[in-house]
Amino acid sequence: MKKTLLNFAVMLFVASICRPAVAQTPGAASDQSAASKTAAPFSPRDLDGLWMPAPGAASGPQLVDPNAHPPFTPWGQKRFDASFPSLGPRDVPGKENDPILRCDPDGVPKILGSPHPFEIFMLPDRMLQIFEKHHDWREIWTDGRELPKDPPQLTWNGYSAGKWKGDTFVVESTGFNDVPWLDYYGDPHSEDMHLTEEYKRVDHDTLTISVTIDDPKAYTALWVGKPHIYTLKPKWELQEYYCINEDMMKYDKDIRLRPDASGDKPAKSGATKNPQK
């Protein structure tokens, strides 16, 4: 019972600090009807706009389904076993170590499945993505360059290059560090991950993104995700949203490390340290 209450409290906390904090422009009380917007003319190669993950089962919880991942390699299994998510059946109160609890970036593709909006700008030589969450940003080069065989450095969002294949925008990325999880449930990836994303504008209001994870160090087969649905929000604006240490400290005090969280004493201050490092 105590753990059920804690999970409920965690969900409320996550909803409060990881909210889709978006506002419409002044005077924009309502959007046009769905029927009129989807009927509006659009170019399938125009991905510009502010996009929000669609609610409900159609959009799915993440870009990769945590219930459908391929079998782990021994390396992947070890990393997975060392993860303690704040959600799902593997949650152990007081031991949660999702890197975002240290205000680390979500990384890709995790941030694309986060319940927050992001904006796309198609520039002559790149796609620029601006995320409301943590005000993260990402460049996807479209000037014809190839991915580096040996990336100069490993980063949270990797090194990305994209090109059109018909009306589908295909992005290839490598050069990731191995700190972020792929989802909120502790599924890892290694520095060898090759990520493929496919962006497709279905109609005026709808964008889908699907991903494929190729990480032979962590998984024994490709991990292919289903299309994730996003809705255009032309009258929304990105708001300021940063991960603040004070918020994390309040979360620890009020929820994660409460004496009654698991019936035990609070975990020591080092409990948030990532055992994977």
Q: 58-73: per-residue pLDDT in tens?
A: 445 578 888 888 999 9
Q: 218, 76 in Cβ contact below 8 A?
A: yes
First-last CA distance in the chain: 33
Q: Which amino acid is at 21?
A: A
pLDDT greater at residue 32 or residue 226: 226
pTM of the model: 0.79
**Mean pLDDT, to the nearest integer, of 52-59?**
72
- 3-state percent breakdown (helix, strand, coil) of the chain, nearest 5: 20, 25, 55
Is the per-residue pLDDT at 222 higher than 70? Answer: yes
Sign, CA dihedral 72-74-75-80, equals positive
Q: 170, 194 in Cβ contact below 8 A?
A: no
Q: What is the pLDDT of residue 256?
A: 63
Q: What is the pLDDT of residue 246?
A: 75
Q: What is the pLDDT of residue 30?
A: 46
